[in-house]
Structure 1
Amino acid sequence: MSFFEIHDPAFGRFVLGNAPVKQLASGFDWVEGPVWFGDAGCLLFSDIPNNRILRYTPGAGISTYRAPSNYANGHTRDRQGRLVSCEHGTRRVTRTEMNGAITVIADSYQGKLLNSPNDVVVKSDGSIWFTDPHYGIGSNYEGFAAEQELPCYVYRVDPDGTIEAVLTDFNCPNGLAFSPDESVLYVADTGRMYHDDPHHIRSFSMASGRPQQSRMFHSISTGKADGIRCDTEGNLWSSAGDGVHCIAPDGHLMGKILVPERVSNICFGGRAKHQLFITATTSLYAITLNRVGAQTP
């Protein structure tokens, strides 16, 4: 069985012919938001409809990290190693302190409630960037059905707590990632609920410290881009309807990792950040690559 599609010969160096796509656990409803904790040797990820954050520990399997989770979706770590989470149920972004206390990073903008924060990254200057589509308030499946008070924006929160809508022309911004040198911001647009909207990823120059010079970076051929991550050489890895797509820095498709379920999100982890963890509909998967993830810490 082949786990790969090679569209650029260079992709053959990124994958290992004897490294399979392994299903690590299954039986969930809709899993999302994987984040690797190297210092704890575990992966956290969300099972959104079941209102819980789960922990996968190699050799030990699945356990519950937090339940209820306020229908948490995407996660990352800040520069101090703390968990930063997007919560659909409370319509907010939070940080889990080292003592377990929860700090609210953002829950409103200009006096109106956020929609349902979806994915989040932290830049090296400590600023927190997150997307706010309306998926979590569109029904009671991944949160609570509620009125939408704000358009679907991309936000930046400064270390002093100042919040700014930095991108305001998306249908529904979803996954986001910085290039390894933070000179480029990538944002996926998955479109409005129940509509056949964009399948693309846009890129922005960060030369001024704010995203500018928007361009259409890549259009996903099967399904839509959701979660995205970069490796250390600047290749962008994106979730898709048929697996994970690897996209070169110039925007061309290099290859695919084929997964039997629709992929929602990904992250690099493992002892050398050379494993790609994949959340896909009802299951958690992983594959070992000849690549290293760029995210820190």
Structure 2
Amino acid sequence: MAKATRRRIMQRRTVLQGLACVPTGLAVSSLAQAADHAAAPPQPETARPADVTTTPPRQWGPGAPPGYTPDPDVIVIDRSFRDLLFGAATLHRVWDQGTWLEGPAWSAEGRYLLLSDTVTSRQYRYLWETGEVTVFRPESYHSNGNTFDYQGRQISCEHFLRRVIRWEHDGSVRVLADRYEGHALNSPNDVIAHPDGSIWFTDPGYGDGFTEGHADEPGGEANPDGHIRWRIGEELIGELGGVKRQADHTFRIDPSGRIECVLTQEQLPNPNGLCFSPDHSRLYVISSGKQPGGYGHEGDQAVHVYDVHKDNTLSNPRLFTNMHFQGVQMGPDGMKADIFGNLWCGASGPLGLCGVFVFNPEGQLIGRIRLPHGVSNLTFGGPKRNWLFMCAGESLYRLQVNTQGAGAA
């Protein structure tokens, strides 16, 4: 018998033996389906974006197996970044019940991490001793950025009421800023404290919409045609903040309460995250992308730096980094400096690229932290300020590092 004939008989016998183990109806059905599949044209596969950044797939959250060390998602680009890392540390997702988390700030007195959910209008706190995340304020007026001043008082930016407030030690609330030159603010976004008692914040228009605040009245930049029912939600709180978007500004609130503009819209459109260098001689500000009612004054999605003088004026504007990486324009949001002057910047972008970008004081990219979601904002916390906390979408991540955060929070 020819070899080819024997091979066909053996293949047929193998198929029949396999069918003998299957109920008759199922076998016939399977054969029919196979025939139909063979006759039908091949269907294109549905694109499925990856949900991990490492191979083998990484598991996140409680109960996940221990990560590898050194962590494959903590990427050393320059040797100097290795000195900022604790080699035995791995990335952890510590909570994933938010919607869009922002404004992480460490309370040294309370030993907790404060964070905002800008969409659900709540503030949460991560308790250091237990790792538990609890509701801190069930109504935060769509707060975004938070910080603690050098007296330990909480300062928050409220999108819905379009103002910056401070919680005093006796539990009362003081409005630090809600107007400038007779005009209501837009939606204060990020805020930082200075040792001289001043408060610096950015005021773009990201809260000029019903997702994270309330829209403008008809005719405003974020509601030019009046189609948005801008007063819906007013009954939940009893009052609205400003009702029409103004120009973008970066502001300073003097300890006396006087509000002054340090950067105009023309000097830096769409200001977002900001932070000082450790010695407060530099101010870093992010110019973000287009937002509701932008009408052409779109930012360049880059980090800019300015010299800060004793009279609080800024000079020598220059580009710190354009946030281009591997041919992609990343979207920076919030940032913090460490005690050595390195800048840790959260960014959105394609999976595998998004996460945290770390630059040395000269603007050189020295390291990255990959996460499965873009990072809106971050801060250093823990009793020694050597834990990096990162807000990424609905989740909070942490990583122990070998440096400390600069500044009060």
Which category of TM-score, normalised to the shorter sequence, fits these structures?
over 0.9
| DSSP-derived class of the 1:136 partner | coil
1:256 aligns with 2:368: yes
Compare the two structures and name the one with the higher helix fraction: 2
**Could you tell me which amino acid in structure 2 is paired with residue 199 of structure 1?**
Q
8 A contact 1:272–1:292 mirrored in 2: yes
2:406 pairs with 1:282: no
Q: Deviation digits for residues 190-211 of structure 1, max 9, x if unmatched?
A: 1221787412100000134311
2:330 equivalent in structure 1 = 223
Alpha-carbon distance between aligned partners in 1 of 2:263 and 2:299, rounded to the nearest angstrom? 18
Corresponding residue of 1:206: 308
Name the counterpart of 1:184.
282
Determine whether 1:151 maps to 2:247: yes
Instruction: Identify the structure with bigger relative contact order (alpha carbons < 8 Å, sequence gap 6+).
Output: 1
2:210 aligned partner, one-letter code: N
Give me the TM-score of the superposition, normalised by structure 2.
0.70
How far did residue 16 of structure 1 move? 2.6
Residues 251 and 262 of structure 2 are in contact (CA less than 8 Å); yes or no, is this contact kept in structure 1? yes
Q: CA deviation at 1:223?
A: 2.4
Query: How far apart are the structure 1 equivalents of 2:299 and 2:109?
Result: 40
Does structure 2 conserve the Cα–Cα contact (< 8 Å) formed by 1:105 and 1:161? Answer: yes
The residue type paired with residue 180 of structure 2 is: Y
Aligned partner of 1:283: which letter? Answer: S
Query: Rg bigger for which structure?
Result: 2
Q: Report SS of the residue matched to 2:80.
A: helix
RMSD: 1.4
Tell me how far apart the structure 1 counterparts of residues 309 and 180 of structure 2 sit (CA, whole Å). Answer: 26
Q: Give CA-to-partner distance per residue, 1:48-73, whole Å, 9 cap, x none.
A: 11010001113151111112101000
User: Normalised by the size of structure 1, how large is the TM-score?
Assistant: 0.96
Is structure 2 residue 143 aligned with structure 1 residue 72?
Answer: yes
Of all paired residues, the percent bearing the same amino acid is 39
Show the counterpart of 1:35.
105
1:165 corresponds to: 261
- Which residue identity is paired with 2:300? P
Contact 1:112 1:149 in 2 (8 A): no
CA distance, structure 2, for counterparts of residue 223 and residue 25 of structure 1: 25
* Corresponding residue number in structure 2 for 1:142: 212
2:346 and 2:356 in contact (8 A); partners too? yes
Q: Deviations over 1:111-138 (max 9, x none)?
A: 111000000011111111000000101x
Q: 1:22 aligns with which of 72, 76, 92?
A: 92
> 2:106 is paired with a residue of what secondary structure?
strand
8 Å contact 1:114–1:132 — kept in the other structure?
A: yes
What SS does the corresponding residue of 1:272 show, helix, strand or coil?
coil
In structure 1, the residue matched to 2:34 is none
Equivalences, count: 296
Instruction: Classify the secondary structure of the residue corresponding to 1:10.
Output: helix
For the Cα contact (< 8 Å) 1:77–1:122, is it kept in 2? yes
Q: Tell me, what secondary structure is at the counterpart of 1:151? A: coil
State whether residues 7 and 255 of structure 1, in contact with CA within 8 Å, keep that contact through their aligned partners in structure 2: yes
Give the aligned partner of residue 170 of structure 2: 99
- Larger deviation, residues 177-186 vs 52-61: 52-61
Q: Is the 8 A contact 1:84 1:95 kept in 2?
A: yes
- The answer as to whether partners of 1:173 and 1:191 remain within 8 angstroms in 2 is no
Within 2, Cα distance between the matches of 1:60 and 1:270?
A: 11
5+ residue gaps in structure 2?
Answer: 1-53, 55-71, 221-243, 349-353
Q: Pick the aligned partner of 1:236 from 326, 331, 343.
A: 343
1:115 aligns with 2:179: no
Q: 1:83 matched to which residue of 2?
A: 154
Letter in 2 for 1:204: Y
